[in-house]
Structure 1
């Protein structure tokens, strides 16, 4: 089994789209014509993130963060710095894996995970 996608809610679809494409580096792709506004984001042709636009976000949203594995560490850090994104880096105890936590719109938190050997 594997995760097909994660859905997040956004109050500003354009801002959320710019975050997923420019800051994180995903590609916006096909989204069926639902009755709601939204966008779908892909990595190498595979669906990852579905966004649906809502009127307001109550609390901190439906989840704490989504974790994504397999990005290019140096390219990500470069994009984060270029876009002045709010992020912090940590190391997973015992494994040495790197975590980069990125703050996004509407209180969204994204964990980018890099295995020690990368």
Structure 2
């Protein structure tokens, strides 16, 4: 599949296009990533474009006011995370249409032991 990539939640209410290279995927085992199955694809926020009409995203804010885990309020699919430096966002690569993530190179990050945990849920 070629750029731009199209990502959507399970019900299709949220759909975005991303004009960026599909590389640098990271799977993390921190408390939120391991529960949600989020597969990080960090891109410049300017490369992301909403292609469905504007919809409400639900957000879960845990560590700070400038970061959040954003998901579809209808189907619950986690689609994006914000709060990264340099105008970057992390998209859930598992939401890319027409791409089998099992065929992609994925780096593993030990967020469980490497990240400052804050209060654990």
Q: TM-score, normalised by structure 2?
A: 0.30
Greater relative contact order (CA < 8 Å, ≥ 6 in sequence): 2
Q: TM-score, normalised by structure 1?
A: 0.30
Q: Which has the higher helix share?
A: 1
